[in-house]
Amino acid sequence: MTDMTSYPVPPKPRHTTFYSRNKLVITPLLFIAPAFAMFSLFVIYPIIQSISLSFYEWQGIGPKKWVGFNNYDLLFKDPVFWKALVNNIYWLVLFLLAPVLGLIIALFLNQKVFGIRLVKSLFFFPFVVSQIVVGLVFTWFYDPAFGLIAALIEPLGLKLPSILASEDWATFGVIIAGLWPQTAYCMILYLTGLNSVNPEMIEAARLDGARGWRLLVNIVLPQLRAATFIAIVVTVIGALRSFDLVAIMTEGGPYNSSNVLAFYMYDNAIFRYRMGYAASIATILFLIMDVYIVWFLMRLLKNEKGSR
Amino acid sequence: MFPRPIQESSKSRQLMYKVALPISLVIWLLPMIAIVATAGRSLHDINYGNYWGIPSEWAFLDNFGEVFSSSPILIYLLNSVIITVPSIFGALFLSTLAGAGLALYKFKGRFVIFALFIAGNFVPFQILMIPVRQLTLDLGIYDTYLAVILFQVAFQTGFCTFFMRNFIADLPFELVESARSEGVSEWKILIHVIIPLVRPALAALAVLQFTFIWNDFFWPLILIQSDELRPITLGLTTLKGQYISSFNLLAAGSLIAALPPVMMFFAMQRHFIAGLTLGASKG
């Protein structure tokens, strides 16, 4: 016994358990597991299920019937699908006005005068308001009998047509409502970007005689690349996701003239119980969106690869 | 600075700018001004077609009182709170863990997992709609708050993880290394080193998530059926039917619905914008 105590007790070997040997691998897995499980269950797996469902005929209950590509055959012969797709393209193209208008407003507001902070916030706040409220507001705004636009142009002897009840104009009426908060979003992205533009480069360019438009295009815009990239991504995604405004303002009408893929899908699933057909519309929308998602990811991860 | 500071231009241009600013603001906010003005209009004026003229009286209090007493708007608001608050906490909890896992450790496949979280965040809701609805039916939680909360937690975790991972990756890594060399456990590093440093990111995410989830219309529409469980966004569509010709009351209801996120935005503006413009100022 005394022999034992005369030697210093060797320290307990610390890195013996499986966990302590591998903790730099196990810890991140434990940290990520709960989020990943939830995300897989509610996002990733449902995507796979939806794509698979698009090859079946199903009414929401009862057995599913395999129909191969039949849903897609029907879809490509469905005039409402094409109408909705064209409208989605209108959304996409016109929504790209949001980054442009957002940049113009940001340039207009990028000054240091009294009260400018409040003005910037007030310009931004349509983005904070629910799309349902935006939809309701614009519905009144457009109303030919009691809307504000009609009231404003009446003294000029003009009569406002019923925008949301017109097959030609309904889509554009809804898109303009959507542009309002989207422009506010792009504006705030550009205001932040303008904040970090290198002032020395601007001064140097000014000394070289560049001003106005040329200064903007050659010196400022290249430095706003990050803001432009994010603005375009969120705008494209926003345009393809358009649902709330269509649902509250027109429900796709009149006669499907303002329908979009997202709403047509919902309509088929919830009101016509055509789950397989609805899933095929969702799959098409998903494939279109993938182009942008992949583009975004590639740009993003290219910058990430170098980091820790 | 671009454009050139207005102070450097002539007095007359400065004056023009100062006049143009409020005018453009009024035009920009015209839809919002219209709804506020309508919310204060009396039923008498509405019935007599006086929609935009000078009101015979201001009836804000009457209209708001009427909306609260004649509609379940208070319940809708409460439902929105019940759905929104736990969803925010859930998403922040999961994404802080996952963000730390992705930012602080090197392991195979971390880019794939990171990319999945980002990509999932951008998918159209319609591709999730039928299976998620079915899943809540299978779990027996369809038409409950829990269905919407669980979905929001799962979905918003994508964006929040993206955000937290980038924020944590920008922290000085030496802090973690020195804690490790002193034998501090990984879990304790997260609690005592990382969490105190990510507080601003959590604040930014919380306000952002509040508006996203509060304003969401689609998922309660898909997952909730009972009127008494509806959040305010869905409730507004009910009010739209109820107040079909009382625009003043519908306007008052819309204002009430818009108010919480707007107040949150003005109170937490700096955090809100920091969250929203993440990455916009990088080169």
Q: What is the pLDDT of residue A286?
A: 95
Long-range contacts of residues B193-197, Cβ cutoff 8 Å, at least 24 apart:
B194/B96, B194/B100, B194/B104, B194/B168, B195/B96, B197/B171
Task: Tally DSSP H helices, then E strands, for chain B.
Answer: 16, 0
Q: Which candidate from B5, B107, B128 shows the least CB-CB separation from A47?
A: B128
Give one DSSP letter per residue of A150-173, joined into a string.
Answer: HHHHGGGT-----GGG-TTTHHHH
Q: What is the pLDDT of residue A304?
A: 67
B269–A293 C-beta distance less than 8 A:
no
Confidence of residue A12 (pLDDT cuts 50, 70, 90): low
**Would you give the DSSP letter of residue B8?**
G
**More confident position, B267 or A260:** A260
Quick: pLDDT tens for A146-181: 788 888 888 888 888 888 988 889 999 999 999 999
Q: What is the pLDDT of residue A99?
A: 96
CA distance A174 to chain B (A): 14
Q: Which of B144, B130, B272 is nearest to B206 (CA)?
A: B272
Q: Which candidate from B34, B120, B279 shows the least CB-CB separation from A39?
A: B120
Q: What is the pLDDT of residue A206?
A: 86
Quick: pLDDT tens for B22-61: 999 999 999 888 888 888 888 878 777 777 777 778 888 8
Give the domain B72-276 fold.
MetI-like fold (1.10.3720)
CATH of span A69-304: 1.10.3720.10
Q: Looking at residues A21-47, what average pLDDT do you find?
A: 91
CA distance A265 to chain B (A): 7
Chain A CB contacts of B247 below 8 Å: 140, 146
pTM comes to 0.90
Domain range list for chain A:
2-53, 69-304
Buried residues in A270-292 as b, exposed as e (16+ CB within 10 A): beeebbbbbbbbbbbbbebbeeb
**More confident position, A154 or A132:** A132
- Distance, in Å, from the CA atom of B207 to the CA atom of B197, rounded to the nearest integer, reads 18
Confidence of residue B210 (pLDDT cuts 50, 70, 90): very high
Q: Which residue of A has its CA nearest to B274?
A: A192
Task: Supply the ipTM of this predicted assembly.
Answer: 0.90
Least confident stretch, A88-92, B182-186, B212-216, B273-277: B273-277
